[in-house]
Structure 1
Amino acid sequence: MTAQASAADPAPGRGAGPVPDQDVEAGRLSAVRRYDILDTPPDGAFDRVAALAGRLFDVPVATVTIVDSDRIWFKATHGLEGVKEIGRDPGLCGSAILRDDALVIPDTLHDPVAANNPLVAGEMGVRFYAAAPITTSDGHRLGTVNILDTKPRSITEEDIATLSDLAAIVMDEMELRLSAMRALREEQERRTAESMHAERERARAEAERAAREQAEKDKAAIAAFASTLQRTLLPPALPAVPGLELACHYRTASVHDVGGDFYDVFPVDADRWAFFLGDVCGKGPEAATVTALARHTLRAAAQIDPDPVTVLSTLNTVLLTDVAAGSRFCTALFGLLTPQEDGAFTVTVASGGHPSAYHVRPDDGGSVWVKAVRPKGGMLIGAFPEAHFAQSTFRLAPGEGLFLYTDGLTEARTAQGAMLGEDGLTGFLHQRTGSLTATALVDDTVTLLDALPEGVGDDVALLTLSVPDSESVPEAGVAATAHTTATPEHFGQE
């Protein structure tokens, strides 16, 4: 049961406070080291938890902290810029990790420990503090998710449960991060062993050369995958791809739910680029966990073998076997871009139960030629062990574009009350006038969404690619654009 501390409530961590059991503390610190999280760079997933806590509880400061042996380190902060760590004693977080439930201090000036804390006694003047422990599956409390205010206040049991859910989301993200690193190490060890076995049959000189090459490839793959662990559920911006223009848009149906739509664009080798867009079944923390797992898996699988069908098959296996995914499944389109000497791109797209992408180009009549790109036979990802995935290859020439979306777009209601549907979307693209650049496609679709009387009932993710006319392609590529918005009815609320 969660306690709200008061001046008369000698809860654990108040006053002089209990001294942590040495064996328990040793085990806790070992768990902190196991997750290898201390002093890591900023990570958008954790930053979003801090920002979400600030918005949900309408407090000026929210943090995600990890408690070390002698310090409290801030993994993410909202409203507390420039602070990386503080001493552990006296520390509010240091008290919070000594208890199984959340710690709530309605007025810090009435608390013997909190009253001496630098955040309370100093210029910031914190008067309210609440924290939920970030707890591992084997019971170790690594740190806390905290909310702070400059005036005394109380919170409800429902609020405390929400704060505990945010702490659980942080724990899930750390588990995914650890699981991904372990899986990568195991895969690299297996591949290295297979390579060594094959090379034993060759001459010593050839075996040594191949082993050196494989070691370099393994090192590069590990470095590339480690960098993907720092990515967020949605990339803050798209990369600049030489000879290609990119644009994206993400619109949430509700600011209170974490959506399951995702997309990304990234290089797989010196010349080729990969892209994907998908939609996880459901919403909320569980869907966000699967979204993170899907993004990390797709990026990692492409570093090993970028073949689109192989990548989706790998994701299918992971969703069926990883306990973090539960029984959730997703749809996705995964594509591979290969530039050609004439400025065009060869595009190979594999489908896993996702709505069609659309290949568009101007026609002779002044309208737009539209062709659906949906390989036949692509099944849901994470639903069946023997799922089949299909792919198709086509040429994206200068002046042409590719339009990808999630089903929140086609399920949106028109003024007549009917869903827009694939026919409505095809008609919208066919009747467009003007440029077919990636940015124009996204901007016009956003205008269409804004004009819908009821907005959207589900999250909408858009990803567009276009090849500029050869005369207008800069040497360094085309700058990408990114948009992230909520539906208009939610702006300014809570």
Structure 2
Amino acid sequence: MPHSYPESLIPNDDAVRLRTLHQFQIVNTTPELIFDNYTAWAAQLFNVPISIISLVDKEYVWFKSRTGGPEVNGLVRDESMCAAAILTGEQVILSDYKSESCTLIKPDVAQAIGLNFYAGAVLTASDGARLGMLAAIGKEYREPTAEEIAVLVRLADLVTQTIELRYQYLAADQAAEWEDAQRALSLALDENVTLARYLITRNQRIDLTDPEVAQLIDRRLSNVAKVLSRRLSSHVS
């Protein structure tokens, strides 16, 4: 679980990262269904009560989407695990929210509501900038399986591609096309939600180490990826 963090929460090259983040014009924007679908799916896959898509701004960490947890839009930067998580060279960060686990942030908010588990995958833009995190959060610390970590990474990649697709449409003043793209992605994710409910009912939880379950999840994640790839390619062309 130990990770190597830098000495400061604000790295020297943060201005470059922030420039990329702000280019997407998604910081502090209203909720959008497709991102809410992603966090709902992540919470179900990890069997946790909370999942967020965070965007790490200069002084504040905005929650583009939040499933479960307190009804807040985000946290100040030095209170959010996501702010520290983007600083490591690792793709996935695990934490128990103990102060000795990461000295860069104040865990008061997390500890006040009994959080002891954080698993986050980095949202990395095509230029390498770390925009934020897709995180699964719970009250009981555990070591995620390799299968769970792999799925979280894949989901984070889908989230990042969706952020890029959103920007392409809105920058071209194609709001209607963006809404249509959201519907197409949501339709693919609806299949995932239905599957998750079935698996939870059958096993009381989603067990990604079960080959049959893993195959079903993989197939549906691949379908979402195909929708994104098709949309991104057609828009570029």
Normalising to structure 2: TM-score of the pair? 0.76
Which of 229, 234, 237 in structure 2 is aligned with 1:318? 234
Residue 44 in 1 paired to residue 33 in 2?
A: yes
- Name the CA distance, whole Å, in 2 between partners of 1:135 and 1:179: 17
Assess, with a 3 A threshold, how the Cα gap between structure 1 residues 109 and 88 changes in structure 2: closer, same or farther. Answer: closer
Structure 1 residues without counterparts, runs of 5 or longer: 185-221, 237-249, 257-281, 298-316, 323-494
- Name the CA distance, whole Å, in 2 between partners of 1:28 and 1:54: 28
Residue 226 in 1 paired to residue 219 in 2?
A: no
Partner SS for 1:39: coil
Q: Deviations over 1:451-471 (max 9, x none)?
A: xxxxxxxxxxxxxxxxxxxxx
- Name the CA distance, whole Å, in 2 between partners of 1:57 and 1:94: 21
Shift of 1:114: 7.9
8 A contact 2:50–2:67 mirrored in 1:
yes
4+ long deviations beyond 4 Å: 250-254
Counterpart of 1:148? 137
Counterpart of 1:287? 223
Which of 101, 104, 121 in structure 2 is aligned with 1:111? 101
8 A contact 2:9–2:84 mirrored in 1:
no
8 A contact 1:63–1:74 mirrored in 2:
yes
Residue 171 in 1 paired to residue 160 in 2?
A: yes
- Which structure shows the higher strand fraction? 1
Q: Deviations over 1:271-324 (max 9, x none)?
A: xxxxxxxxxxx9444432443576x79xxxxxxxxxxxxxxxxxxx928x65xx
- Name the CA distance, whole Å, in 2 between partners of 1:107 and 1:86: 15
Q: Deviations over 1:410-442 (max 9, x none)?
A: xxxxxxxxxxxxxxxxxxxxxxxxxxxxxxxxx
Partner SS for 2:64: strand
Assess, with a 3 A threshold, how the Cα gap between structure 1 residues 58 and 109 changes in structure 2: closer, same or farther. Answer: farther
Shift of 1:251: 5.9
- Partner amino acid for 1:57? F
Structure ranking higher on relative contact order (CA contacts 8 Å, 6+ apart): 2
8 A contact 2:54–2:61 mirrored in 1:
yes
8 A contact 2:84–2:104 mirrored in 1:
no
Residue 131 in 1 paired to residue 120 in 2?
A: yes
- Name the CA distance, whole Å, in 1 between partners of 2:86 and 2:116: 20
Shift of 1:255: 2.0
- Name the CA distance, whole Å, in 2 between partners of 1:252 and 1:165: 14
8 A contact 1:176–1:293 mirrored in 2:
no
Assess, with a 3 A threshold, how the Cα gap between structure 1 residues 89 and 235 changes in structure 2: closer, same or farther. Answer: closer
Shift of 1:234: 4.9
- Which structure shows the higher helix fraction? 2
1:412-451 alignment, distance < 5 Å: none
Residue 75 in 1 paired to residue 64 in 2?
A: yes
8 A contact 1:46–1:75 mirrored in 2:
yes
Shift of 1:110: 4.8
Shift of 1:167: 1.0
Assess, with a 3 A threshold, how the Cα gap between structure 1 residues 80 and 90 changes in structure 2: closer, same or farther. Answer: closer
Assess, with a 3 A threshold, how the Cα gap between structure 1 residues 293 and 179 changes in structure 2: closer, same or farther. Answer: farther
**Percentage of matched positions with identical amino acids:** 25
Shift of 1:72: 0.4
8 A contact 1:107–1:127 mirrored in 2:
yes
Partner SS for 1:108: coil
Shift of 1:107: 5.8
1:377-396 alignment, distance < 5 Å: none
For this pair of structures, how many residues does the alignment match? Answer: 212
Assess, with a 3 A threshold, how the Cα gap between structure 1 residues 114 and 77 changes in structure 2: closer, same or farther. Answer: farther
Partner SS for 2:55: strand
- Name the CA distance, whole Å, in 2 between partners of 1:167 and 1:287: 15
Normalising to structure 1: TM-score of the pair? 0.39
